Amino acid sequence: MGKLENKIALVTGGGRGIGEAICRRLAEEGADVVVADISPEIAAETVKKVEAVGRRSLAVKVDVTKSKDVDEMVRATMDKFGRIDILVNNAGVLTVRPVVELDEEEWDKVIDVNLKGVFLCSKAVAKIMINQRDGKIICIASAAAKRGLDLFAHYSASKGGVARFSQGLAHELAPYNINVNAVCPGIVPTDMWDKLDEEVGKYKGIPKGEITKMFTQVVPLGRMQPPEAIAAMVAFLASPDAQEITAQAINVDGGLRDY
Protein backbone atom coordinates (compact mmCIF):
# COMPACT_ATOMS: atom_id res chain seq x y z
CA MET A 1 0.00 0.00 0.00
CA GLY A 2 1.34 3.41 -0.99
CA LYS A 3 1.65 6.36 1.36
CA LEU A 4 -1.02 8.28 -0.56
CA GLU A 5 -3.60 5.49 -0.65
CA ASN A 6 -7.04 6.86 -1.62
CA LYS A 7 -5.92 10.49 -1.54
CA ILE A 8 -7.28 12.79 -4.24
CA ALA A 9 -4.62 14.79 -6.10
CA LEU A 10 -5.10 17.63 -8.56
CA VAL A 11 -2.12 18.38 -10.81
CA THR A 12 -2.05 21.36 -13.16
CA GLY A 13 0.07 21.09 -16.27
CA GLY A 14 -0.18 17.35 -15.73
CA GLY A 15 -0.12 16.30 -19.36
CA ARG A 16 3.59 16.28 -20.08
CA GLY A 17 7.11 16.66 -18.70
CA ILE A 18 7.42 17.12 -14.95
CA GLY A 19 3.64 17.22 -14.54
CA GLU A 20 3.17 13.86 -16.23
CA ALA A 21 5.87 12.30 -14.04
CA ILE A 22 4.17 13.74 -10.95
CA CYS A 23 0.81 12.27 -11.95
CA ARG A 24 2.35 8.84 -12.46
CA ARG A 25 4.25 8.90 -9.16
CA LEU A 26 1.25 10.03 -7.12
CA ALA A 27 -0.81 7.25 -8.68
CA GLU A 28 1.91 4.71 -7.90
CA GLU A 29 1.72 5.88 -4.26
CA GLY A 30 -2.03 5.18 -4.25
CA ALA A 31 -3.63 8.52 -5.12
CA ASP A 32 -6.45 9.11 -7.57
CA VAL A 33 -5.33 11.90 -9.89
CA VAL A 34 -7.05 14.72 -11.74
CA VAL A 35 -4.88 15.67 -14.72
CA ALA A 36 -5.51 19.32 -15.54
CA ASP A 37 -3.93 20.74 -18.66
CA ILE A 38 -4.58 23.35 -21.32
CA SER A 39 -4.44 20.48 -23.83
CA PRO A 40 -7.21 17.93 -23.15
CA GLU A 41 -5.68 15.47 -25.62
CA ILE A 42 -2.37 15.39 -23.79
CA ALA A 43 -4.16 15.18 -20.43
CA ALA A 44 -6.11 12.18 -21.68
CA GLU A 45 -2.87 10.33 -22.42
CA THR A 46 -1.66 10.87 -18.86
CA VAL A 47 -5.03 9.67 -17.55
CA LYS A 48 -4.39 6.35 -19.29
CA LYS A 49 -1.05 6.03 -17.47
CA VAL A 50 -2.68 6.73 -14.11
CA GLU A 51 -5.41 4.19 -14.77
CA ALA A 52 -2.81 1.65 -15.88
CA VAL A 53 -1.58 1.42 -12.27
CA GLY A 54 -5.11 0.85 -11.00
CA ARG A 55 -6.04 4.35 -9.87
CA ARG A 56 -8.99 6.51 -10.88
CA SER A 57 -8.33 9.59 -12.98
CA LEU A 58 -9.99 12.49 -14.75
CA ALA A 59 -8.76 14.82 -17.50
CA VAL A 60 -9.79 18.46 -17.19
CA LYS A 61 -9.05 21.27 -19.63
CA VAL A 62 -7.91 24.40 -17.83
CA ASP A 63 -6.27 27.72 -18.51
CA VAL A 64 -4.87 28.53 -15.07
CA THR A 65 -4.83 32.26 -15.84
CA LYS A 66 -8.63 32.36 -15.97
CA SER A 67 -10.56 32.18 -12.72
CA LYS A 68 -13.61 30.73 -14.48
CA ASP A 69 -11.55 27.84 -15.82
CA VAL A 70 -9.99 27.24 -12.42
CA ASP A 71 -13.37 27.23 -10.69
CA GLU A 72 -14.71 24.74 -13.25
CA MET A 73 -11.64 22.53 -12.75
CA VAL A 74 -12.20 22.46 -8.99
CA ARG A 75 -15.93 21.86 -9.44
CA ALA A 76 -15.29 18.91 -11.77
CA THR A 77 -12.84 17.43 -9.26
CA MET A 78 -15.28 17.77 -6.39
CA ASP A 79 -18.17 16.37 -8.44
CA LYS A 80 -16.20 13.21 -9.21
CA PHE A 81 -14.18 12.69 -6.02
CA GLY A 82 -15.81 14.81 -3.31
CA ARG A 83 -12.57 16.19 -1.85
CA ILE A 84 -9.08 17.44 -2.74
CA ASP A 85 -6.22 16.27 -0.55
CA ILE A 86 -3.27 17.35 -2.70
CA LEU A 87 -2.85 20.27 -5.09
CA VAL A 88 0.26 20.43 -7.27
CA ASN A 89 0.66 23.79 -9.01
CA ASN A 90 2.86 22.69 -11.89
CA ALA A 91 1.52 24.56 -14.95
CA GLY A 92 4.17 26.91 -16.29
CA VAL A 93 5.73 28.54 -19.32
CA LEU A 94 9.22 29.77 -20.14
CA THR A 95 10.46 32.18 -22.78
CA VAL A 96 13.98 33.37 -23.55
CA ARG A 97 14.42 37.12 -24.03
CA PRO A 98 16.65 39.95 -22.77
CA VAL A 99 14.73 42.58 -20.84
CA VAL A 100 15.35 45.29 -23.45
CA GLU A 101 13.59 43.12 -26.07
CA LEU A 102 10.83 41.90 -23.75
CA ASP A 103 7.43 43.36 -24.58
CA GLU A 104 4.57 43.78 -22.16
CA GLU A 105 2.54 40.95 -23.67
CA GLU A 106 5.32 38.40 -23.17
CA TRP A 107 5.99 39.61 -19.61
CA ASP A 108 2.28 39.31 -18.79
CA LYS A 109 2.02 35.80 -20.23
CA VAL A 110 4.92 34.44 -18.15
CA ILE A 111 3.78 36.17 -14.95
CA ASP A 112 0.14 35.20 -15.50
CA VAL A 113 0.73 31.50 -16.12
CA ASN A 114 3.54 30.97 -13.62
CA LEU A 115 2.41 33.21 -10.75
CA LYS A 116 -1.21 34.27 -11.21
CA GLY A 117 -2.11 30.67 -12.04
CA VAL A 118 -0.60 29.49 -8.74
CA PHE A 119 -2.59 32.16 -6.91
CA LEU A 120 -5.91 31.30 -8.56
CA CYS A 121 -5.57 27.54 -8.13
CA SER A 122 -4.32 27.79 -4.55
CA LYS A 123 -7.10 30.18 -3.57
CA ALA A 124 -9.82 27.95 -5.01
CA VAL A 125 -8.48 24.74 -3.46
CA ALA A 126 -7.49 26.30 -0.12
CA LYS A 127 -11.15 27.05 0.59
CA ILE A 128 -11.93 23.34 0.30
CA MET A 129 -8.91 22.28 2.35
CA ILE A 130 -9.81 24.75 5.10
CA ASN A 131 -13.23 23.09 5.41
CA GLN A 132 -11.51 19.68 5.47
CA ARG A 133 -8.91 21.02 7.93
CA ASP A 134 -6.34 19.03 6.02
CA GLY A 135 -4.36 19.24 2.78
CA LYS A 136 -1.06 19.58 0.97
CA ILE A 137 -0.28 22.27 -1.60
CA ILE A 138 2.95 21.89 -3.56
CA CYS A 139 4.07 24.55 -6.02
CA ILE A 140 6.68 23.89 -8.69
CA ALA A 141 9.05 26.85 -8.70
CA SER A 142 12.57 26.61 -10.18
CA ALA A 143 16.24 26.97 -9.36
CA ALA A 144 15.74 30.30 -11.15
CA ALA A 145 13.59 31.38 -8.20
CA LYS A 146 16.76 31.77 -6.17
CA ARG A 147 19.12 33.31 -8.73
CA GLY A 148 18.49 35.83 -11.48
CA LEU A 149 19.70 34.74 -14.90
CA ASP A 150 20.38 36.71 -18.06
CA LEU A 151 17.68 36.12 -20.71
CA PHE A 152 15.35 34.82 -17.95
CA ALA A 153 14.75 37.87 -15.74
CA HIS A 154 10.99 37.62 -16.29
CA TYR A 155 10.97 33.86 -15.64
CA SER A 156 13.13 34.25 -12.52
CA ALA A 157 10.76 36.94 -11.28
CA SER A 158 7.74 34.69 -11.76
CA LYS A 159 9.30 31.69 -10.04
CA GLY A 160 10.74 33.78 -7.22
CA GLY A 161 7.20 34.99 -6.70
CA VAL A 162 5.97 31.40 -6.55
CA ALA A 163 8.47 30.56 -3.81
CA ARG A 164 7.57 33.59 -1.69
CA PHE A 165 3.83 33.20 -2.30
CA SER A 166 4.08 29.57 -1.15
CA GLN A 167 5.78 30.65 2.06
CA GLY A 168 3.19 33.29 2.84
CA LEU A 169 0.32 30.94 2.06
CA ALA A 170 1.89 28.27 4.29
CA HIS A 171 1.79 30.65 7.24
CA GLU A 172 -1.86 31.53 6.56
CA LEU A 173 -3.00 27.92 6.22
CA ALA A 174 -0.94 26.31 9.00
CA PRO A 175 -3.75 26.70 11.58
CA TYR A 176 -5.92 24.48 9.36
CA ASN A 177 -3.40 21.63 9.18
CA ILE A 178 -2.51 22.47 5.58
CA ASN A 179 1.12 22.27 4.44
CA VAL A 180 2.37 24.44 1.60
CA ASN A 181 5.81 24.02 0.03
CA ALA A 182 7.62 24.83 -3.19
CA VAL A 183 9.93 22.54 -5.15
CA CYS A 184 12.75 24.13 -7.15
CA PRO A 185 13.91 21.87 -10.01
CA GLY A 186 17.28 22.39 -11.62
CA ILE A 187 18.04 21.21 -15.14
CA VAL A 188 15.34 18.76 -16.18
CA PRO A 189 15.27 17.12 -19.65
CA THR A 190 11.83 18.08 -20.95
CA ASP A 191 10.45 19.69 -24.11
CA MET A 192 10.68 23.04 -22.29
CA TRP A 193 14.39 22.54 -21.64
CA ASP A 194 15.02 21.57 -25.28
CA LYS A 195 13.39 24.83 -26.36
CA LEU A 196 15.49 26.75 -23.83
CA ASP A 197 18.71 25.14 -25.05
CA GLU A 198 18.00 26.06 -28.65
CA GLU A 199 16.86 29.64 -28.02
CA VAL A 200 19.63 30.55 -25.57
CA GLY A 201 22.11 29.11 -28.06
CA LYS A 202 20.80 31.44 -30.75
CA TYR A 203 21.25 34.51 -28.54
CA LYS A 204 24.75 33.50 -27.52
CA GLY A 205 25.83 32.11 -30.89
CA ILE A 206 26.32 28.61 -29.51
CA PRO A 207 25.26 25.38 -31.29
CA LYS A 208 22.25 23.45 -29.99
CA GLY A 209 23.25 21.16 -27.13
CA GLU A 210 26.16 23.28 -25.91
CA ILE A 211 24.03 25.22 -23.43
CA THR A 212 22.95 21.96 -21.81
CA LYS A 213 26.59 20.94 -21.50
CA MET A 214 27.51 24.29 -19.95
CA PHE A 215 24.69 24.14 -17.40
CA THR A 216 25.39 20.53 -16.51
CA GLN A 217 29.04 21.39 -15.79
CA VAL A 218 27.93 23.51 -12.81
CA VAL A 219 25.93 20.64 -11.32
CA PRO A 220 28.16 18.87 -8.76
CA LEU A 221 26.43 15.55 -9.44
CA GLY A 222 27.35 16.03 -13.08
CA ARG A 223 23.98 15.28 -14.61
CA MET A 224 20.51 16.62 -15.33
CA GLN A 225 17.72 15.74 -12.92
CA PRO A 226 15.05 13.47 -14.46
CA PRO A 227 11.37 14.44 -14.10
CA GLU A 228 10.97 11.41 -11.84
CA ALA A 229 13.31 13.03 -9.28
CA ILE A 230 11.03 16.05 -9.03
CA ALA A 231 8.02 13.75 -8.79
CA ALA A 232 9.66 11.85 -5.93
CA MET A 233 10.05 15.06 -3.92
CA VAL A 234 6.43 16.03 -4.62
CA ALA A 235 5.24 12.59 -3.49
CA PHE A 236 7.28 12.94 -0.29
CA LEU A 237 5.90 16.40 0.49
CA ALA A 238 2.37 15.11 -0.15
CA SER A 239 2.86 12.19 2.24
CA PRO A 240 2.42 11.90 6.03
CA ASP A 241 6.22 11.73 6.30
CA ALA A 242 6.35 15.48 5.51
CA GLN A 243 3.70 16.52 8.01
CA GLU A 244 6.13 18.84 9.84
CA ILE A 245 7.53 20.46 6.69
CA THR A 246 5.89 23.66 5.49
CA ALA A 247 6.84 27.10 4.11
CA GLN A 248 9.94 25.66 2.39
CA ALA A 249 11.39 26.03 -1.11
CA ILE A 250 13.33 22.82 -1.62
CA ASN A 251 15.94 22.44 -4.36
CA VAL A 252 16.09 19.29 -6.47
CA ASP A 253 19.00 20.39 -8.64
CA GLY A 254 21.98 18.14 -8.07
CA GLY A 255 23.68 20.84 -5.97
CA LEU A 256 23.56 23.42 -8.77
CA ARG A 257 26.20 26.13 -8.37
CA ASP A 258 25.84 29.74 -9.47
CA TYR A 259 26.57 30.22 -13.13
Positions marked active-site:
155
CA distance 109 to 113: 6
DSSP summary character for residue 225: P
- What order of strands is seen across the sheet that includes strand 86-89? 57-61, 32-37, 8-12, 86-89, 135-140, 178-185, 249-252
SS3 content of the chain, % helix, strand, coil (to 5): 50, 15, 35
CA distance 99 to 120: 27
Q: How far is CA 49 from the centre of its chain?
A: 19
Single out the residue of 228, 245, 178, 240 nearest to residue 2, CA to CA.
Answer: 240
Q: What 3-state class would DSSP assign to 57?
A: strand
